[in-house]
Homo-oligomer: A and B are copies of this chain.
Amino acid sequence: MTPDEFRRVGHEIVDLIADYRAHVSERPVMAPCGPGHVKSQLPSTPPVSPESFEAILRDLERVVLPGLTHWQHPRFFGYFPCNGSLSSVLGDYVSSGLGVLGLAWQSSPALTELEEVTTDWVRQMVGLSEQWQGVIQDTASTSTLVALLLARERTARYALDRGGLQTVDHPLVVYTSQHCHSSVDKAALLAGFGRDHVRHVPVDDGYAMRADALSRSIERDLDTGLQPCAVVLTTGTTATTALDPVAAVCDAVERYGVWVHVDAAMAGSAMVLPECRWMWEGVERTDSIVLNPHKWLGAAFDCSVFYVRDVQHLIRVMSTTPSYLQSAADGRVKNYRDWGIPLGRRFRALKLWFLIREQGVEQLQARLRRDLANAQWLAAEVSHTPGWRVLAPVPLQTVCVRHEPAGLEGDALDRHTLAWVDRINQSGQAYLTPAVLDGRWMARVSIGAEQTEREHVEHLWRLIQEAVKGS
């Protein structure tokens, strides 16, 4: 494809995306197709000869778009928001178009240095001190895996340079809460700790980790000859956006020398609001933090920022320097390959740079405050309505609700909940993802898609009240 063909088709694609975003609210939020439907419409063998772009774009419209669940839809209330703000999308367009790669500083200096600058901007925006340095990873799953590798190697004194985790004298233990994200367990298992060495500490009434229970768990392990290694706290859990008490946990574990990692994948964006920073008070005493600008803040996925205090430790654990990656600049520059798992790296800082500059901190703050207010409005409506309950505190943008009509409980209540959520999803009018809380299903209303205004939340609340009548 020549640059001139790219120019022509590129304009078409920009128009296609502009139209898509302008009219996404007219589409059913959840893809109305069954398993295999998309695949059945595509040839099972690759084309031998070139096809026209007209044919490709026709299939895009005909096969792909109807097979999507639309995350940028104003009535998308599932999972957590993943806002690809259009300014950030343009930053990503520049990145893909330039096609440069960050294997080392020298392999594209601006890629590295813009990442230094933008991750430092985010650091300032969320109120972290200068002791933190950041790097962009793909997701919080990966960032948390890196954090546990760092913890493992600090406790095991760089066992990776000797016998690895296979020759430790006292097995290392990871602590997290019963409400941690699934990626914490996954990271611990992939890092080799083993399920027997992962503790899920009980939570309090607000679904936050109990520091006293954590201390007891650690003491029990020490008594049996195990070695406490890491605590993973969550600022904004997935089920209810609960806030583990960072300062209290730091107090509790100080004497044990464990690594403290904060999973603020979702709530990290909220720290751009000074009035929210109490939520992770004590964070300066932890060892690593992950927050995902690709969620609520609006950076195009993937853009997860991982902060550490001890960069030398990070590099010692993650670095490799074969001859073909050495350059004269080594030692005077950052080589971000030594800050994570992949060697090759996209120019991801551009999408963060475009977003922050085009919005300015003030506009980002205004949008987050809008969403917090919408969540408070919905929580108030629900809790004032007979037969309805808000099941957890609402510090952020997620409201956990259940319709509990008289006489319905146990499995019958679960069936009712899943049925009305499914009716809403199948209607295409809105999208919710249910979750289990205290052993019972509930509906999570996760507010914060970029296009979601008060009217869309009001609309959802009407839909919900209608949907429960269908049971």
Contact = CB atoms under 8 A, between A and B. Distances in A.
Q: How many monomers of this protein are in the complex?
A: 2
Contacts of A261: none
A343 B166 contact: no
Interface stretch (A2-10, A203-211, A247-255): A2-10
Interface stretch (A213-221, A354-362, A370-378, A382-390): A354-362
B1 A110 contact: no
B68 A323 contact: no
Given A96-B89, A357-B56, A141 B343 contact: yes
A10 B14 contact: yes
A311 interface: no
Contacts of A106: 30-31, 69
B361 A196 contact: no
A274 interface: no
Interface residues of A, number: 162
Interface in A90-117: 90, 92-94, 96-101, 103, 105-111, 113-114, 116-117
Of A6, A152, A332, most buried by chain B (CB within 10 Å of CB) is A6
A353 B361 CA distance: 37
Interface string A2-31: 111111011101111111111000000011
A224 interface: no
Interface stretch (A157-165, A282-290, A403-411, A459-467): A157-165
Given A6-B21, A110-B31, A302-B344, A165 B163 contact: no
B171 A192 contact: no
A96 B16 CA distance: 12
A436 interface: yes
B324 A239 contact: yes
A361 B46 contact: yes
Contacts of A15: 7
Of A18, A171, A356, A362, most buried by chain B (CB within 10 Å of CB) is A18
B324 A79 contact: yes
A263 interface: no
A172 interface: yes
B113 A38 contact: yes
Contacts of A84: 96-97, 99
A168 B171 contact: no
A164 B162 contact: no
A244 interface: no
Nearest to A323: B436
B3 A14 contact: no
A202 interface: no
A149 to B, nearest CB: 6
Interface in A138-196: 138-142, 145, 149, 152, 159-168, 171-172, 181-183, 185-186, 189-196
Contact of A49 (B72, B139, B196, B360): B360
A393 interface: no
Interface string A39-51: 1001011111111
A120 interface: yes
Contacts of A37: 109, 113
Interface in A287-303: 294, 300-302
Given A50-B358, A82-B99, A67 B108 contact: yes
A17 B100 CA distance: 12
Contacts of A48: 360-362
A33 interface: yes
Contact of A358 (B51, B90, B149): B51
A334 to B, nearest CB: 9
A294 B103 CA distance: 14
Contact of A164 (B42, B100, B159, B189): B189
A3 B196 CA distance: 51
B68 A100 contact: yes
Given A18-B3, A342-B139, A162 B50 contact: no
Contact of A94 (B13, B100, B363): B13
